[in-house]
Amino acid sequence: MNELIEQIRLAAAALAEFSSHLFNPTIRLGVTGLSNAGKTVFITALVHGLLRGGRFPVFEAMATGRIARAYLAPQPDYAVPRFDYESHLDALVDKREWPASTRQISELRLVIEYQSQNGYQRALTLDIVDYPGEWLLDLPLLDKSYEAWATESVKLSRLGPRAGLAKDWNSYLTSLDPQGAEDEQAALTAAKLFTAYLKACRDKNYAMSLLPPGRFLMPGDLDNTPALTFAPLDVASEGVAPKGSLWAMMRRRYDAYKDIVVRPFFRDHFARLDRQIVLVDTLAAINAGPDAVLDLERALAQVLDCFQIGRKTILSTMLRPRIDRILLAATKADHLHHTSHDRLEAVLKRLTQDATAKAELAGARVDVVAIAAVRATREATVRRARQQLPCILGVPVAGEVLAGETFDGDTEAAMFPGDLPDDPNELFRSGASAFRGISTTSPQNADFRFLRVRPPLLEMTESGIPALPHIRLDRALQFLIGDRLQ
């Protein structure tokens, strides 16, 4: 019943939007990515490039001069904060710091005035939403009952490196009786321990991705409310909760969480997307090890399953908008020499192969690229003894350690992160032939080390800030909105 009402609501909203978009063409660009994938930097660089006229040779409309101007317009939603483009840009350019992780949802509307190929003056509105990547993991919960989710979470917490991190919570879990009477204190403690376990998984050394529910990691304004005070119990996935039991209480709160948090989030920001870019920080997972890579694969599969993907038809546009183009982007490609970009793309293709196949079957266009929205490194060849290493030059952020060196945030270094395999399947092996990441071995023995690098030093020109350097941001733009600017 709930589901039906929700569907009607979505269709009504889509219908209302359809008529206004007839006269005012709008693209809702879904910038999706788990936390730390680089959504904020991507949006900032994209907006900056469009506003200032970046160096985008592959983005046809801009390269041929058909874009007359682009400007920021007041956003459509009154209840959502504005994306703070200016201060993010300041942090990037002046302080040379990456933006802190996003804690709140925010929105931006960009209007592009352009001339079409046959000479008409047109305008295209681009709506972009930024949000904490953790929240994205909530979307798969929409179709899951409490029991299914709990069974899955408990099972997952006993796998691989998670088992060690979840020890406290797991031992508390065995002391709980789901059939017992409801107990607020038990729920509080369980939620606290469960949250601690999720937070530990997210640590840079483990870089786990599949950590629902997202609000536990980034609570926004719901901290300490009952909707966030629940945890999985060790219950059968098909059982029925007895009245007044702890189980029933948890189940109620889980459903409340879905109603209060997840549904509105999905309805307002993801149900009506036209184009989607999925940013994936593949390198962080490779850095951490095979378990993180497998976890990322699971998380991506679940998240990508939530979107309406397929070819556009008039009926679908009116009632159930579909995403007809998806760009899968491996971000932070500047941490690799460009000769390895093809291999990085191969890894991402392998990570998302099921979702890609499904989307293509439904008639959507899918492309995979390695991008860097802001390119922070240069390239160099290092010759040592008889070896030649294709390296990148950059300034590692303060505190990064590699080969016994601790960086202070001012020293430039040439880094070689380790050769990626030609065959991406090598990274998905487990057991003895698995590669070693920093979650299981010391940083000295890891097979790959990707250090975080500070944003680039830009030279000022008298006309203001020069365009931010990037890798393939123009190709991404061409794929995502190029056809709507014809």
Partner 1 sequence: MSKTWPHRPPAVFRLDDDDVMVGLAKDEAAKRAVQVILEPDAETPLIAVDDPLQWRRRGFRWGALFWGAVGALILLAAGLAVVRLIEDLFARNQEFGFLGLALAILAAVSFLVVVIRETMGLARLATIEKLNRRALDTLLSDDRQEGAAVARALLALTRRMPRLARGRATMESHLGDIIDGADMVRLAERELMTPLDQQARRIVTAAATRVSAFTALSPRAAIDVLFVFGSALVLVRRLSLLYGARPGALGLMRLMRLVVLHLAMTGGMATTDGLIQQMLGHGIAGKLSARLGEGLLNGFLTARLGLAAIDVIRPLPFTALPRPTLRNLMSDVMRGFGEKEETP
Residues in contact with partner 1 by CB under 8 A are 55, 57-58, 60, 63-64, 117, 338, 341-342, 369, 378-384, 387, 389, 391, 393, 402-403, 405, 411-419, 421-423, 426, 432-433, 435, 446-449, 451, 471-472, 475, 478
Report, in Å, the least distance between residue 348 CB and partner 1. 15
User: Per residue, what are the HEC states of 279-337?
Assistant: EECHHHHHHHCHHHHHHHHHHHHHHHCCCCECCCCHHHHHHCCCECEEEEEECCHHHCC
Instruction: Give which of 307, 21, 369 is closest to 142, Cα–Cα.
Output: 307
Report, in Å, the least distance between residue 421 CB and partner 1. 4
For partner 1, the closer of residues 5 and 432 by Cβ is 432
For partner 1, the closer of residues 53 and 220 by Cβ is 53
For partner 1, the closer of residues 64 and 237 by Cβ is 64
Count of other CB atoms within 10 angstroms of residue 182: 15
Report, in Å, the least distance between residue 180 CB and partner 1. 50
Instruction: Confirm if 82 and 107 have CB atoms less than 8 A apart.
Output: yes
For partner 1, the closer of residues 360 and 423 by Cβ is 423
For partner 1, the closer of residues 203 and 408 by Cβ is 408
**Which helix (DSSP H) or strand (DSSP E) does residue 206 occupy?**
none
For partner 1, the closer of residues 121 and 387 by Cβ is 387
Report, in Å, the least distance between residue 250 CB and partner 1. 45
Instruction: Give which of 106, 125, 109 is closest to 24, Cα–Cα.
Output: 125
The amino acid at 153: S
For partner 1, the closer of residues 51 and 393 by Cβ is 393
Cα dist from 234 to 71, 106, 221, 257, 444, whole Å:
53, 37, 29, 19, 39
Instruction: Confirm if 140 and 305 have CB atoms less than 8 A apart.
Output: yes
For partner 1, the closer of residues 310 and 418 by Cβ is 418
- Paired strand residues for 32: 278
Rg, Å, the chain Cα set: 23
125-147: b or e for each residue (b if 16 or more CB lie within 10 Å)?
bbbbbbbbbbbbbbbbbeebebb
Q: How far apart are CA 208 and CA 216, in angstroms?
A: 15
Instruction: Give which of 303, 218, 293, 234 is closest to 266, Cα–Cα.
Output: 303
Report, in Å, the least distance between residue 412 CB and partner 1. 5
Report, in Å, the least distance between residue 453 CB and partner 1. 12
Count of other CB atoms within 10 angstroms of residue 5: 9
**Tokens standing for residue 455:** 């944003």
For partner 1, the closer of residues 313 and 411 by Cβ is 411
Report, in Å, the least distance between residue 388 CB and partner 1. 9
**Tokens standing for residue 383:** 């010759």
Report, in Å, the least distance between residue 417 CB and partner 1. 5
For partner 1, the closer of residues 243 and 384 by Cβ is 384
Report, in Å, the least distance between residue 170 CB and partner 1. 32
With H, G, I as helix, E, B as strand and everything else as coil, classify residue 245. strand
For partner 1, the closer of residues 220 and 390 by Cβ is 390
Instruction: Confirm if 209 and 295 have CB atoms less than 8 A apart.
Output: yes
Report, in Å, the least distance between residue 297 CB and partner 1. 20
Report, in Å, the least distance between residue 32 CB and partner 1. 23
Instruction: Confirm if 306 and 142 have CB atoms less than 8 A apart.
Output: yes
Report, in Å, the least distance between residue 353 CB and partner 1. 19
Burial class (CB in 10 A: 0-12, 13-18, 19+), 86: exposed
For partner 1, the closer of residues 362 and 380 by Cβ is 380
207: left (phi over 0), alpha (psi -120 to 50) or beta: left
Q: How far apart are CA 11 and CA 45, in angstroms?
A: 33
